[in-house]
Chains A and B, each alone.
Chain A
Amino acid sequence: MDHVIEVKSLTKRFKDVVAVDALSFNVKQGEAFGLLGPNGAGKTTTLSMLCTILKPTSGTAYVNGYSITDHPPQVRRSIGIVFQEPSIDDRLTGRENLEMHADLYGVPKSEQKKRIDDVLQLVELADKADFLMRTYSGGMRRRLEIARGLIHYPKVLFLDEPTIGLDPQTREHIWTYIAKLRGQQNITIILTTHYMEEADNLCDRIAIIDHGRIVALDNPKKLKASLEGGIISVKTSALQTLSAKLKEIDWVKETVEEGGELKLVVKDVNAALPRVVETAAKAGIRIESMSVHEPTLDDVFLHYTGKEIRSESADEYRGVVAIRRHGIR
């Protein structure tokens, strides 16, 4: 019974749209938990409810033992948040932003300076602390926001798309900080992302969310293992015909057509490979190229939702929480 977060059929409706649909899950103390899904899946909306910015339409959740509907102040005291959109005051310096945060969260004055220096160290911004935020790059701002979320020693740290819009190098950096956090402190991390790699690298368990519902929940390894076997991607002009032919074979567990490619989930890749070629040849279909790989989270997602994760698709964006104009991207 050491769940630091318990979500109980949490639901949020915006007019006619159900953004979060009776979501339920538990997160253990010290776990790094990922909410993986495309934009508009309801990740940010879920997070906004958990950090008491949005009121649930129905259902509730407990964070650190406090109900998000009945005890928002206690919940707020227990959590740190890094929002998807920037949320720092760019007219203040980095240090001033951190000091203000410490004041708002009632961090004892005597400890304030040390804690600020510590978190600045962690995100390697100590030398930039007294510069105005407006002179910071996007990646530096993100790092400062992560630092800020840690000053008051939260039980749970929420990271909403922590690396969205950042260059690959900065992304790796931020992954390192998050990984460091996982190792060092007894802190629970809830992370939303639509990057497979990110969820795979950082999370102990992952909930795949689509249309406000959990479609799969397990650790990354098991999720990938749930596909049992390997993936063969076939590129050909006669996609449908080949797909239909292969579907008849019983060792082909699944076929998905995606982006001009046919993906086959098979138990034994090595044995299956020549027989796929054989089948194609018999049907007079010319194969342009073939590739084989271990299942990735991408395949898992594809398996559960029947579609590739969408990287950006504005019309699907239902979580109304933020004004997007000023988002970093």
Chain B
Amino acid sequence: MSEIRAIYTLWMREVKRYTREKTRLVSSFIQPLLWLVIFGSGIRFAPIGIDYQKFIFPGIIGQTLLFTSMFMGISVIWDREFGFLKEILVAPVSRISVFVGKMLGGSTDAVIQGSFVFVFSFIVGIRMNIGAFLLSLPIMALITFGMVSVGLTLASLMESLESFGVIQTFVNLPLFFLSGALFPLAFVPQWLRWVSYVDPLTYGVDALRFTILREAWTPLFPIQLDLLVLLAFDFGMIAVGTMIFSRRK
């Protein structure tokens, strides 16, 4: 019970901090819009059997989730720099609750950010309904649980803000490019496809295409498999993250 209250209060803190930062809320609109409108229009004529902008729409949601989730790791570094981490670490709360509280907070922020992208669906001509959005929500949550955990883990390992920034780019871009967000994985060479199968975001984007594009697109995997892989990824990363986060000097 007390652990749940601790998770709740740490979650609440992250959400409060996030909603008080207006610039981050506004800037979150810009990047997806650029990808959809400029990049999407540029390669609109790619012969993939579906309008390209529609095709990348779930991919850009996935990308937004990935980038914001990773960025959430920064909260560990900030907390350390501003000393707040000590307040949490001396509290009589298990490390896993601290980690999960932070993770859920970051995930909530990332899912909110990802949800903004749905606003642009009309630009690319996808007719969204509430049902499809609601079905996408749990998938978005599953993607962010694992990805925020990766971000928090990397941040726990980094000594400074700068090194976290560098490592983030190294992780973000491969995960993004390999996920099939920008091109159908059916089109890539066999070896590259196998690499893509290791990328958890591949399954996230695949599942989002299932809920958003529906019959207009044939997904790579059955939805059950996508969800199963994402779940395994989440649990694995929470375990690893808690372990790394809990190290005591």
| Contact mask for chain A residues 81-108; partner B; CB cutoff 8 A; 1 contact, 0 none | 1010111111110001001110111100
Partner of B81, one of A54, A76, A323: A323
Q: Which chain B residues numbered 70 to 106 have a C-beta less than 8 Å away from chain A? A: 80-94
**Are A87 and B86 touching (Cβ within 8 A)?**
yes
Task: Determine which residue in A77, A86, A87, A92 has the highest number of CB atoms from chain B within 10 A of its CB, and name it.
Answer: A87
User: Complex formed: what's the CA distance from A156 to B249 in Å?
Assistant: 23
CB B245 to nearest CB in A, in angstroms, measures 14
Chain A residues contacting B93 (CB-CB under 8 Å) are 104
User: Complex formed: what's the CA distance from A148 to B80 in Å?
Assistant: 19
Partner of A101, one of B21, B82, B87, B249: B87
Q: Does A225 contact B (CB under 8 A)?
A: no
**Are A83 and B83 touching (Cβ within 8 A)?**
yes
**Are B83 and A103 touching (Cβ within 8 A)?**
no
Q: Does B22 contact A (CB under 8 A)?
A: no
| Contact mask for chain A residues 51-91; partner B; CB cutoff 8 A; 1 contact, 0 none | 11111000000000000000001101101010101111111
Q: Does A326 contact B (CB under 8 A)?
A: yes
**Are B9 and A99 touching (Cβ within 8 A)?**
yes
CB A108 to nearest CB in B, in angstroms, measures 10
Closest to A145 in B: B87
**Are B84 and A87 touching (Cβ within 8 A)?**
yes
| Interface-facing stretch out of B12-20, B34-42, B163-171 | B12-20
Interface size on B, residues (CB 8 A): 29
User: Complex formed: what's the CA distance from A82 to B169 in Å?
Assistant: 37
**Are B92 and A55 touching (Cβ within 8 A)?**
no
**Are A54 and B248 touching (Cβ within 8 A)?**
yes
Interface size on A, residues (CB 8 A): 34
Q: Does B116 contact A (CB under 8 A)?
A: no
User: Complex formed: what's the CA distance from A87 to B83 in Å?
Assistant: 4
The B interface, classified by DSSP as helix, strand, loop or mixed, is helix
User: Complex formed: what's the CA distance from A325 to B10 in Å?
Assistant: 25
User: Complex formed: what's the CA distance from A55 to B12 in Å?
Assistant: 30
State whether A88 and B92 are in contact (beta carbons under 8 Å apart), knowing that A54-B248, A323-B80, A326-B81 are contacts in the complex: no
Closest to B97 in A: A104
User: Complex formed: what's the CA distance from A148 to B90 in Å?
Assistant: 13
User: Complex formed: what's the CA distance from A322 to B89 in Å?
Assistant: 13
State whether A103 and B8 are in contact (beta carbons under 8 Å apart), knowing that A83-B86, A91-B17 are contacts in the complex: yes
**Are A86 and B83 touching (Cβ within 8 A)?**
yes
Chain A residues contacting B90 (CB-CB under 8 Å) are 51-53, 76, 79, 81
CB B74 to nearest CB in A, in angstroms, measures 13
**Are B82 and A106 touching (Cβ within 8 A)?**
no
CB A33 to nearest CB in B, in angstroms, measures 19
CB B132 to nearest CB in A, in angstroms, measures 35
Chain B residues contacting A99 (CB-CB under 8 Å) are 9
State whether A100 and B9 are in contact (beta carbons under 8 Å apart), knowing that A53-B86, A322-B83 are contacts in the complex: yes
**Are B16 and A96 touching (Cβ within 8 A)?**
yes
User: Complex formed: what's the CA distance from A265 to B82 in Å?
Assistant: 46
Task: Determine which residue in A103, A105, A322, A326 has the highest number of CB atoms from chain B within 10 A of its CB, and name it.
Answer: A103
Chain A residues contacting B2 (CB-CB under 8 Å) are 106
**Are B83 and A76 touching (Cβ within 8 A)?**
no
Chain A residues contacting B13 (CB-CB under 8 Å) are 89, 92, 96, 100
**Are B86 and A77 touching (Cβ within 8 A)?**
no
Chain B residues contacting A83 (CB-CB under 8 Å) are 83, 86-87
CB B90 to nearest CB in A, in angstroms, measures 5
**Are A88 and B84 touching (Cβ within 8 A)?**
yes
Closest to A74 in B: B92
Chain B residues contacting A323 (CB-CB under 8 Å) are 80-81, 83
State whether A90 and B91 are in contact (beta carbons under 8 Å apart), knowing that A100-B13, A103-B5, A104-B6 are contacts in the complex: no
Chain B residues contacting A85 (CB-CB under 8 Å) are 83, 86
State whether A91 and B248 are in contact (beta carbons under 8 Å apart), knowing that A85-B83, A86-B83, A104-B93 are contacts in the complex: no
User: Complex formed: what's the CA distance from A86 to B10 in Å?
Assistant: 19
CB A159 to nearest CB in B, in angstroms, measures 14
User: Complex formed: what's the CA distance from A90 to B20 in Å?
Assistant: 12
| Contact mask for chain B residues 163-198; partner A; CB cutoff 8 A; 1 contact, 0 none | 000000000000000000000000000000000000
Closest to A158 in B: B90
**Are A326 and B91 touching (Cβ within 8 A)?**
no
Besides A53-B90, A73-B94, A89-B13, 20 more A-B contacts (Cβ < 8 Å) are: A51-B90, A53-B86, A53-B89, A54-B248, A76-B90, A81-B86, A83-B86, A87-B83, A88-B83, A89-B17, A89-B82, A90-B82, A91-B17, A92-B13, A100-B10, A103-B6, A103-B8, A103-B9, A322-B83, A326-B81
20 A-B Cβ contacts within 8 A? A52-B90, A76-B90, A76-B91, A76-B92, A81-B90, A83-B83, A83-B86, A86-B83, A87-B83, A87-B86, A88-B87, A91-B17, A91-B20, A99-B9, A101-B87, A103-B9, A320-B249, A323-B80, A325-B81, A326-B82
The 10 closest A-B pairs by CB, nearest first: A103-B9, A87-B83, A106-B2, A104-B91, A76-B92, A77-B92, A87-B87, A85-B83, A91-B17, A87-B86
